[in-house]
Structure formats: C-alpha cells, structure tokens
C-alpha cells in the first residue's frame, strides 16, 4: 500500500470532522445563546517526499464569541448578554457558564435556569423578596421594587472553555470579571451565520470527495503495480 494513502486518509478524516461541526452549527442556527464552533487544523509530517509524508490533524474546536442577535420579548425573567462573558450557573457538582438567559423565579424566589439550576450572583444565589418585582441594570445589578438593590449577577469570562451541551460551558482556566452588558426582557440568538455555514459545508464536502478520489486512485495504482510485478 502506498504511503500517500495515509495522507489522503488524514485529510478525509479532517474534512469529515469539519462537516460534522458545521452541520451542528447549522442545526443550532435558531438556538438561544448558541456559540458557533470553529475547527482548527494542524499539519504533521517531515515535508519530504511526493506528498511530504504529511498528515492533517484536528488541533481543536474553539467557540466564536461574537454577539448573537438580540430579540426583545419583554419577559422580565429573560436576559441577553452583549460582549464576551457568561452567566454562572450552579449545577450541584460544579459551576458552569451559559449565555442562555431564559431564567425563571422558582417558588422560593430564587432565579434559576429553566432546568431549575440556580443562577449565581456575586455573593451566591439570587433570591427575589416575596411579593416584589425586580429590574436589572446593564451592569447586572438587581433592584427589587421595594427592597432596592439585592445583588448582582456574577458575570465572568475564561480564556479556555469547553461545551457541555444544553448551552452550558465548563471553564478550563481561571475566571475573570467580564466586560459584558445585560439586557433585561430580551434573549440572545445564535451567532451562526447560516449562509457562511452552508458555504463551509459545501467546501468541506468537496474536500472530502477529493480525498476519497485520491485514495481510490492510489488503490488502483497499487493494483496495477501488483499486476505488473506478477
């Protein structure tokens, strides 16, 4: 088997991974708070020989932190973020990050996600006094209708984050205070550019087909060489 088939195989696998990620982006084009995923690649190999004995590898998947479109719905429990940052959510075993601001106030007055996980303030859980309404400033300060200022959303950012599904992210590096603006009565849409994503999907599928044809040609050449040698 010719060594060049391994180079083509690595390219095909990288293109397939790219297609999977782009397809995921397209599927979430209408998902609240979704962050587009971008695949990064690296080239390994000696650089010598016909194809350089090189191989394409996926080096990572990074989120696009550009803002999504803000949709005003006037629900006081809904919040959109603008700028690089996240809300902090207590899921029990750990604190995760989210841009999905579809919150509710539970029976105890605690602000939670739709799944019932408390949204954290700078000093812990945020509890709205019984019978009071509340407003939130652009800085994330929470003001109850009678009690006044009762807390502030914990708004953070990390340099290294990993998607956990359901609009949640895990911080793999230290958290820092985020320079982000809170909009009450609104939700942030996905930041996926659907037209660009479709173009990227077509491009990746063409790369995949080209690598497949290269592998097929390599296999045919091997077969002919075997026949000649017999």
- Write the CB contacts of 34 (distance below 8 Å, at least 6 apart in sequence): 28, 68, 167, 189, 190, 191, 192
What digits encode the pLDDT tens for the residues 147-182?
Answer: 999 999 999 999 999 999 899 999 999 999 999 999
Question: Residue 128: what pLDDT?
Answer: 97
Return the higher-pLDDT residue of 43 and 204. Answer: 204
- Taking 80 as the threshold, does the pLDDT of residue 83 lie above it? yes
- Taking 70 as the threshold, does the pLDDT of residue 49 lie above it? no
- Taking 70 as the threshold, does the pLDDT of residue 48 lie above it? no
Strands 95-98 and 168-171: what pairing?
antiparallel
Among 5-9, 55-59, 90-94, the minimum mean pLDDT is found in 5-9
Round to whole Å and give the CA distance between 194 and 22.
Answer: 10
- Taking 50 as the threshold, does the pLDDT of residue 1 lie above it? no
Share of residues in the chain with pLDDT > 70 (%): 85
- Taking 80 as the threshold, does the pLDDT of residue 223 lie above it? no
- Write the CB contacts of 68 (distance below 8 Å, at least 6 apart in sequence): 33, 34, 99, 188, 189, 190, 191
* Whole-structure pTM value: 0.79
Return the higher-pLDDT residue of 116 and 224. Answer: 116
* Tokens describing residue 155: 């708004």
Q: What is the average per-residue pLDDT within 1-20?
A: 73
pLDDT band at residue 220 using 50, 70 and 90 as cut-offs: low
Do 40 and 61 contact (CB within 8 A), yes or no? yes
Q: Look up residue 121 and give its DSSP letter.
A: E
- Taking 70 as the threshold, does the pLDDT of residue 16 lie above it? yes
The per-residue pLDDT of the chain, averaged, comes to 87
Question: Residue 72: what pLDDT?
Answer: 97
Q: Where are the domains of the chain?
A: 4-65+191-229, 70-188
Question: Residue 108: what pLDDT?
Answer: 95
Round to whole Å and give the CA distance between 60 and 14.
Answer: 11
Among 40-54, 79-93, 152-166, the minimum mean pLDDT is found in 40-54
């Amino acid at each position: 088997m010719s060594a060049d088939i391994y180079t083509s195989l690595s390219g095909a696998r990288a293109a397939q991974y790219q297609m999977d990620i782009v397809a995921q982006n397209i599927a979430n084009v209408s998902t609240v708070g979704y962050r587009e995923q971008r695949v990064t690649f690296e080239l390994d190999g000696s650089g010598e020989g016909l194809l350089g004995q090189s191989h394409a590898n996926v080096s990572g998947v990074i989120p696009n932190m550009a803002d999504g479109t803000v949709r005003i719905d006037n629900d006081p429990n809904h919040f959109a973020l603008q700028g690089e940052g996240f809300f902090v959510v207590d899921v029990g075993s750990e604190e995760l990050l989210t841009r999905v601001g579809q919150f509710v106030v539970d029976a105890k007055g605690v602000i939670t996600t739709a799944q019932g996980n408390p949204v954290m303030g700078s000093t812990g859980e945020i509890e709205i006094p019984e019978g009071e309404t509340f407003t939130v400033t652009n800085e994330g300060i929470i003001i109850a209708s009678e009690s006044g200022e009762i807390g502030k959303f914990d708004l953070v950012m990390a340099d290294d984050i990993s998607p956990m599904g359901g609009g949640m992210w895990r911080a793999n590096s230290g958290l820092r205070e985020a320079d982000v603006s809170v909009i009450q009565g609104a939700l942030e849409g996905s930041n996926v550019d659907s037209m660009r994503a479709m173009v990227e999907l077509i491009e990746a599928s063409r790369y995949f087909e080209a690598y497949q044809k290269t592998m097929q040609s390599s296999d045919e050449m091997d077969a002919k060489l075997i026949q000649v040698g017999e």
